[in-house]
Amino acid sequence: MADVLVLENVYKSFGKRMVIDNVSLSVKEGEVFGFLGPNGAGKTTTIKMILGLLSIDSGRITIMGHDIEKGFEKAMKYISGIVENPDMYGYLSGHDNLLIHARACGAPRERIDEVVRIVGMQKRIKDKFKSYSLGMKQRIGVAQALLHNPKIMILDEPTNGLDPAGIKEVRDLLKYLAHTEGISVFVSSHILKEMQEMCDTVCIINNGRILRTGRVDELTHDAARGLYRYRLRPMDKAVALLRENAADRISEIGEDYVDLHVSEDEIEILNRRLVENGITIYGMSPVETSLEQIFMEITGGGNVVD
């Protein structure tokens, strides 16, 4: 699959403060790309640079092969996005707001009705934008981003402020766009659970640096390598024994389980030792880690959600 968006060694600083420090990533056609990081990690700054709202100190950003600094007009034909909030002209109707954007992007008028149908806003489209709920505004925002059939859509925290039903709607919409319409979706969030459920690839960023990039399934699988959940009896005796002999292997101690890091070679020895000490192993399974856990591990448990 071709790369739709590529960032190569991008740097950005505000005054002396380095906000984006050597960021490189690429987004492939038709994938949902999650851009993960705590608040203040540099997500919005990166997005603004991709959309040409901020200048780049050094490095290169290309969209469909067009450099956004040298070929801004060409590059912008393939990209759309919502930055921070879906801000539009409150005194205009949703339709007029879309009309403005359609004209600016060179999209035909008929496309407005299409995108309104996609986001399901037919009934309220003639109402003033300021009368919409946040969810509706978000939907109009997505409609606006769809107008000129972009190759890639950038969404900055699209689920912010939405209720669970709204979040599910957005998630389904993005999946539909990426997997059915073939539009790459670059979505940033600090809510990891959502990302895990809707993204194909994630990139974790903190303090302006990329910490890890990879496919969600690979990442979660990789991290899970060597972590096993043991169900032991008697529990207190087992915990005491493990603490005494293998404290560094303990990942987590639950009410009736212990998560342990062990390599495949070590499993046999560990199991034998436990049995020798009169402990029954009545359950043992590899642990599927969530993105959240990976994130906590990588960022050292920084302010994930605040």
The stretch near other proteins (CB under 8 A) out of 72-80, 244-252, 253-261, 275-283 is: 72-80
Nearer to other proteins by Cβ, of 99 and 253: the residue is 99
The stretch near other proteins (CB under 8 A) out of 100-108, 217-225, 248-256, 263-271 is: 100-108
Contact between 90 and other proteins (CB under 8 A)? yes
Nearer to other proteins by Cβ, of 47 and 216: the residue is 47
Contact between 267 and other proteins (CB under 8 A)? no
d(CA 43, CA 96): 30
**Shortest distance, position 144 Cβ to other proteins, whole Å:** 7
Contact between 100 and other proteins (CB under 8 A)? yes
Nearer to other proteins by Cβ, of 149 and 213: the residue is 149
The stretch near other proteins (CB under 8 A) out of 78-86, 109-117, 165-173, 289-297 is: 78-86
Site string for other proteins, 41-70 (x = CB under 8 A): -------x--xxxxx---------------
Contact set with other proteins (CB under 8 A): 48, 51-55, 72-77, 79-81, 83-85, 87-92, 96, 99-101, 103-106, 144
